[in-house]
Structure 1
Amino acid sequence: MLDRRRFLAVCSHLGLTSTLFPGVLWGMAEPQGKVTKEMIGNAADIADVVISDDLRDAMLENLDQNKKNYEEIYKLHIANSVAPAYIFDPVLPGMKFDSVKRPLRMSGAPAAKAQEADREIAAGKYRSPLHGLPWGAKDLLAVKGYRTTWGAGGFEQQNIDEDATVVKRLDQAGAVLVAKLTLGALAQGDKWFGGMTRNPWNPHQGSSGSSAGSSSATAAGCIAFAIGSETLGSISSPSTRCGATGLRPTFGLVPRTGAMALSWTMDKLGPICRAVEDTALVLSAIYGPDGRDRTVHDVAFNWDANLDWRKLRVGYFKEEFEFKPPAEPPAETGPVTPEEQKKREERAHTRERAQAMRKYDQQFSEAAIAKLQGMGVKLIPLELPKIPYGAMRSLLLAEAAAAFDDLTRSGRDKLLTEQSPNDWPNSFRVARLTPAVEYIQANRARMQAMEMWKKLFENIDVIVAPTFSQQLVATNLTGHPAVIVPNGFRGTDAPRPPRKENGIDDGDGGPGTPVSLTFLGPLYGEAKLLSFAKAYQDATGFHLKHPDLDAEMAEL
């Protein structure tokens, strides 16, 4: 049997020792099993990127998972006629949208407050319902004269000499920017170069992210509203954890000019508030083309708080609301090192905790369905389009790696505080080894998903869904809008996440913490979507409950 040493010796006699070719040939000749460090080294050389031996260890598990994801897309047998979504535009052929802008129609309470503010602002014109309101900007939005740190080590003193479009528009609306708000480093999680943003309902717990400060500060009542961003859950997750109301608009509704780019085809900016109607008022001030972000369409957002939501056609993902214990993963067999055995046990404990929390939280899903039916809503059972959404995450990772290519190549990624296998530094390195063909195939699969969701919304105005279900990845890929609202609070009997030695809870949930519900709409269907979400919020009142900061902080 030819081993690697003898194989390279043959290559030497052929005069190939000074090239990368022998190692590549050997890698191709090897049985196609798990990725090895040698394979990574050869691929890194070809990609012209330096990856040290210890960093290759961290990449192995992720690369093996990537291979499984590629196989999921292979199974689709995509027809030759399906084009990839190279320049992403969620608008498909045949879609038409209203571009005529009409005056806002607010409900009674906000209108009265606006009139009062109008009288109080005696020396100056009344600009909008946001006039005089304090707000905060996620610190990936550029503000001239202030640092824009992206929450990341190595960028602490960064200054960008421009105002983001949303910052300009809110200034024109009379809103008062009072703070730049923390975000997880480079828009991941809730840990930034200065520490961790905390959940006002449980300061022992992180706020989730990456719109960490945007959600935490809003829920705590420090500001009237904030602007956050979402690429894959960064409004949805912290809004849930902090009990805020978040709006993730349609991709291509709000210009991202002046915002840090993570994924050019998935990044979206949106408001985080305490109430649904507040998100509508903020959206009305920030949406529409700015002449610089070419993804933005000239589509009208006409908010009408008096719209009859009872006439809307509402569907729900029936199976997603049903609790089903997850299938047991394949048994991990074979001899292992003590370190690997510890990892296996940790994975098993994590699965057990997650299942216990899902089982506990099932009561909130059932209560939401019952409440909607009690409101007279005729829920139409729907099936979430079946396609391997998770396998398409390679699109985000590849774009993010490109956005921060210089960070990786220069070695400055070592300055980021988080360095686990799932954090950005390692993800960027892994993404560099994504084959171009697989990237294009994932784009083509994305186009199929867009077609499926277009068909799903043909006769539906709103879809009700659990926040943390497959829809989260799916709709971030297809560009559909979502509203995340508080949907109750866990009781004292809720499973507690384990508390680490540093006093931080390791995980989600716990007594007294909020849960959420998500409403989805068709592309650029925010007006109807928000009207329905407001009706549910008014009927439940969960958004009116606020954290007792004195009591919570006393526990620290």
Structure 2
Amino acid sequence: MSLFDMRLSDIHNRLHHKDLSVSELVDASLKQIGETDGKIGAFLTMDEAGAKKQAGELDAWTGERGLLFGLPAGIKDNIVTEGLRTTCASQFLANYNPIYDAGVVTKLKSAQSVTVGKLNMDEFAMGGSNENSSFHPVRNPWDTSRVPGGSSGGSAASVAAGQVYFSLGSDTGGSIRQPAAYCGVVGLKPTYGLVSRYGLVAFASSLDQIGPITKNVEDAAYVLQAIAGHDERDSTSANVDIPDYASSLTGDVKGLRIAVPKEYFGEGVDTQVKERVLEALKVYESMGAVWEEVSLPHTEYAVAAYYLLASSEASSNLARFDGVRYGVRSENPANLLDLYRRSRSDGFGAEVKRRIMLGTYALSSGYYDAYYKKAQQVRTLVKRDFDQVFERFDIILAPTAPTTAFKLGEQADDPLTMYMNDICTIPASLAGIPAISIPCGLAEGLPVGLQIMGKPFDEATVLRAAHAYEGNTEHHKLRPAL
């Protein structure tokens, strides 16, 4: 058994009893990265020297040790790390070395985990396949001819490949959950505001949320415990009590009320994906949970509303990248306007330009009411659908993605088809509710993700339901044969 196939609590006990050292853990991580990342491409920047130095310091540590103590982790490359290059997988930030840590990075340092490097992603988190990285695409460890999902494809692939014990990703419209489904790992998008966005390079500020990617649900609960909490530096951070998530992992779901929205099983959802999710419902039935089909009628408008809102916010957020303050600057411009034009033309990739143009158009005079305002109204309707369902049910269960991972290049020239891959994850993002993707089996040898959505700030119930299913199945133990 690989060290990284063990549960977090088991590794913690080994470290505590000195049966294992942090240096051994970090060396195992670096060795696996060295042996596999040439095939996968999950990392953009490594910090081998820093990781080994920190491991030595932790081995000499005599104080209290938390559960994340000494665990090698990877950080998505849109989460800033002091002194460690943060590129957002864009040529625009190819030389950017931040002078501060993101809120979640500060929390991980307090928990004494070890960051081994920064993980590849779609440029500025815009994409669903990790083919939009300006450096190189990430490949799925289950089949290197296929995508790992996006935009947190590097974060999911690194965990699936056993390169790191856990990773952090960011989720705007499904960018933690969809790659977790494609790579056969656990990906949690917390309630909007539960985890600080301070130091997360903004794509769409009203949607972005940082969350953990792990190999099992128990580990996701521990990582969430470490990174959740109020941050006064983030104006959208919620000042709520943080429960002990691990204590909710009872394995008991008797009487749990599950809603199954019919809109998530319609046209475009692969037959085998439907079968795996329906099989999961039978497992819940056997454990004493009850379920009922419901309707979320505004689901069909969610994708259109999301891409208008996210692109509008992106056009505003990315206006700061102008070649003047930081990032790559074009040489020998004719004047200031030419500097802006050439820096942005050279620095941004095609997908980022596409979304900036769409967002700028939606926000422009004469179109704001017709597009952006209307999309905000639709967002309210989508959230109202969820609120009404949660009046009667505890969780909502659905596929994470309509299909399994597709081939590299298969949808690269068809952005609309690519956008539809997020049809199952976008509604929860618009509503700001917590959602987790967990493995629920294979379809033709590729992982299928089961999505569990919950009430705002009720991550405890979402984790309890996910953990109970995991405890009655073996799907989370499957590993890719790299």
- Normalising by the residue count of structure 2, what TM-score does the alignment of the two structures yield? 0.76
Map 1:407-556; keep pairs closer than 5 Å. 407=321, 410-415=341-346, 418-419=349-350, 423-434=351-362, 435-438=367-370, 439-468=372-401, 470-491=423-444, 512-549=445-482
Conserved 8 A contact 1:248-1:481:
yes
- AA paired with 2:13? Q
Q: Which residue of 1 aligns with 2:304?
A: 391
Conserved 8 A contact 2:379-2:430:
yes
CA–CA separation in structure 2 for the residues paired with 1:406 and 1:457: 39
**Superposed displacement of residue 366, structure 1:** 2.7
- Given the alignment, which residue of 176, 190, 202 partners 1:249? 190
Deviates more, 1:448-457 or 1:261-270: 448-457
Q: Which residue of 2 aligns with 1:259?
A: 200
Residues 203, 374 of structure 1: CA spacing in aligned structure 2 closer, same or farther, 3 A cutoff? same
Task: Name the SS of the counterpart of 1:488 in structure 2.
Answer: strand
CA–CA separation in structure 2 for the residues paired with 1:475 and 1:170: 26
- Given the alignment, which residue of 175, 194, 218 partners 2:135? 194
CA–CA separation in structure 1 for the residues paired with 2:208 and 2:233: 15
Paired-residue identity, %: 30
CA–CA separation in structure 1 for the residues paired with 2:195 and 2:184: 24
**Superposed displacement of residue 176, structure 1:** 0.7
CA–CA separation in structure 2 for the residues paired with 1:227 and 1:428: 26
Residues 515, 482 of structure 1: CA spacing in aligned structure 2 closer, same or farther, 3 A cutoff? same
Deviates more, 1:533-542 or 1:463-472: 463-472
**Superposed displacement of residue 411, structure 1:** 3.9
Residues 318, 209 of structure 1: CA spacing in aligned structure 2 closer, same or farther, 3 A cutoff? closer
**Superposed displacement of residue 458, structure 1:** 2.0
Q: Which residue of 2 aligns with 1:149?
A: 87
Q: Which residue of 1 aligns with 2:16?
A: 118
Q: Which residue of 2 aligns with 1:369?
A: 281
CA–CA separation in structure 1 for the residues paired with 2:395 and 2:250: 14
CA–CA separation in structure 1 for the residues paired with 2:369 and 2:205: 19
**Superposed displacement of residue 407, structure 1:** 4.6
Residues 308, 146 of structure 1: CA spacing in aligned structure 2 closer, same or farther, 3 A cutoff? closer
**Superposed displacement of residue 318, structure 1:** 4.6
- AA paired with 1:401? S
- Answer with 1 or 2: which has the greater Rg: 1
Q: Which residue of 2 aligns with 1:223?
A: 164
Q: Which residue of 1 aligns with 2:102?
A: 164
CA–CA separation in structure 2 for the residues paired with 1:465 and 1:138: 26
Conserved 8 A contact 1:312-1:462:
no
Conserved 8 A contact 2:260-2:291:
no
CA–CA separation in structure 2 for the residues paired with 1:447 and 1:476: 12
Conserved 8 A contact 2:263-2:297:
no
**Superposed displacement of residue 244, structure 1:** 1.2
**Superposed displacement of residue 471, structure 1:** 4.5
**Superposed displacement of residue 466, structure 1:** 1.3
- Given the alignment, which residue of 208, 216, 237 partners 2:178? 237
Kindly provide the CA deviation profile for residues 263-285 of structure 1, in whole angstroms up to 9, marking residues without a partner as x: 11000000000001111000000
**Superposed displacement of residue 370, structure 1:** 2.3
**Superposed displacement of residue 540, structure 1:** 1.4
**Superposed displacement of residue 475, structure 1:** 1.0
Task: Name the SS of the counterpart of 1:226 in structure 2.
Answer: strand
- Given the alignment, which residue of 234, 241, 258 partners 1:315? 258
CA–CA separation in structure 2 for the residues paired with 1:477 and 1:147: 31
Kindly provide the CA deviation profile for residues 71-93 of structure 1, in whole angstroms up to 9, marking residues without a partner as x: xxxxxxxxxxxxxxxxxxxxxxx
Kindly provide the CA deviation profile for residues 389-427 of structure 1, in whole angstroms up to 9, marking residues without a partner as x: 2231211110011111255853434335742xxx22122
Deviates more, 1:176-185 or 1:378-387: 378-387
Residues 407, 116 of structure 1: CA spacing in aligned structure 2 closer, same or farther, 3 A cutoff? closer
**Superposed displacement of residue 311, structure 1:** 4.1
CA–CA separation in structure 2 for the residues paired with 1:110 and 1:193: 34
Deviates more, 1:305-314 or 1:213-222: 305-314
Conserved 8 A contact 2:229-2:238:
yes
Q: Which residue of 1 aligns with 2:71?
A: 133
Kindly provide the CA deviation profile for residues 132-174 of structure 1, in whole angstroms up to 9, marking residues without a partner as x: 1000100111111111101012211112210011011011101
Q: Which residue of 1 aligns with 2:419?
A: none
- AA paired with 1:447? T
Residues 252, 406 of structure 1: CA spacing in aligned structure 2 closer, same or farther, 3 A cutoff? closer
CA–CA separation in structure 1 for the residues paired with 2:134 and 2:232: 34
**Superposed displacement of residue 255, structure 1:** 0.1
Q: Which residue of 1 aligns with 2:22?
A: none
- AA paired with 1:537? E
User: How many residues end up aligned between the 2 structures?
Assistant: 388
- AA paired with 1:432? T
Residues 143, 156 of structure 1: CA spacing in aligned structure 2 closer, same or farther, 3 A cutoff? same
Conserved 8 A contact 1:385-1:453:
no
- AA paired with 2:313? E
**Superposed displacement of residue 536, structure 1:** 0.6
Deviates more, 1:476-485 or 1:363-372: 363-372
Gaps of 5+ in 2: 1-5, 19-58, 323-339, 403-422
**Superposed displacement of residue 384, structure 1:** 1.7
CA–CA separation in structure 1 for the residues paired with 2:68 and 2:134: 32
Conserved 8 A contact 2:88-2:121:
yes
Map 1:37-186; keep pairs closer than 5 Å. 111-120=9-18, 123-186=61-124
- AA paired with 1:472? T
- AA paired with 1:266? L
CA–CA separation in structure 2 for the residues paired with 1:432 and 1:122: 54
Gaps of 5+ in 1: 1-107, 327-354, 492-511, 550-556
